[in-house]
Structure 1
């Protein structure tokens, strides 16, 4: 896990749908109060990426010349839309289910990276704009958490990753104790 890195430029080769289905087994251990599985994934390939680009343009009010397309969804041959899909439950609030969906996406990201694929989780201010939500078929309770851009890793970049000596995170700013209970 400590060696995982986001790969912003991925190559054209991608895992098959069946490979992704097998990797989903890695998502099983995600913290999921009441086992609601409050997430779903959509695989976007080919023309679906062009449709996403058009929806993003609609959301941002961008007009392009005829034949010109939004290049952002074309940065990878495979995008995996991550959707938090909460269920009404008296003991599990929506925010907790959103956290579970994010955890599931991150575990899938780790599984893809471990299997040799480059992954970059991208989102943006238009992710939940009406045109983008409609394209993904979201209902009112769902939240589009972004897309995993997936592809192969350039061998030279893979060597650079392997040689990286990025220092580990300093835990001090992230660990603490409860405040002193004595009144001031």
Structure 2
């Protein structure tokens, strides 16, 4: 297992993958770990759906139907495994739906990191039809559920070298509402 900061820094989206994919047992183990994401009130407002084989073609048909196309979409065939990311909001007075969606997104992102750490190529994909009634129906979603997209998962062709991503300019994104002493991390409580 990699050092966590190195794993996150090295994360890449793999738009092209090979025909191999993790087994169901491997996937169950990784989902158990990803499910440890922060979850206010322990609502578990998410679930995942595996799409392999013919299920990917059915998704291609649903996408085409939603778009009004005559020809099935070939996009779901780009990877041997698609994992549908489902937000399944639970009734709660304390936890709004947006926070429950954040939990589901966290599970998806953690799962993508875990898959990457295990050597799989992963890409989170969405598309114009992700929330269409046809795609909703194809996934057998409950009325209150909706998709965040799919993780496309397959083998990595390590012969294809990926360009390193540009480093993130963290100072641009990290701001402070405190005074200068607080932003330096200096303890000013006794000053």
TM-score higher than 0.5: yes
Match of 2:184 in 1: none
How far apart are residue 166 of structure 1 and its match?
A: 3.4
Match of 1:172 in 2: 171
Match of 2:146 in 1: 143
Q: Structure 1: how far apart are the matches of 2:89 and 2:103?
A: 10
2:17 to 5, 10, 13: 10
Q: Structure 1: how far apart are the matches of 2:92 and 2:145?
A: 15
Over 4 Å off, 4+ runs: none
- The Cα offsets for residues 78-113 of structure 1, whole Å up to 9 and x where unpaired, read as 100000101010100011000000000000000000
2:158 to 151, 155, 159: 155
Give TM-score scaled by structure 2 length: 0.85
Give the paired residue count: 172
5+ residue gaps, structure 1, are: none
Match of 1:111 in 2: 114
* CA RMSD across the alignment: 1.6
Q: 1:172 to 1:133 in 2, by over 3 A?
A: same
Give TM-score scaled by structure 1 length: 0.89
Whether 1:29 aligns to 2:36 is yes
How far apart are residue 140 of structure 1 and its match?
A: 2.2
Q: Secondary structure at the match of 1:109?
A: helix
| Structure 1, 97-106 or 166-175: larger mean CA deviation | 166-175
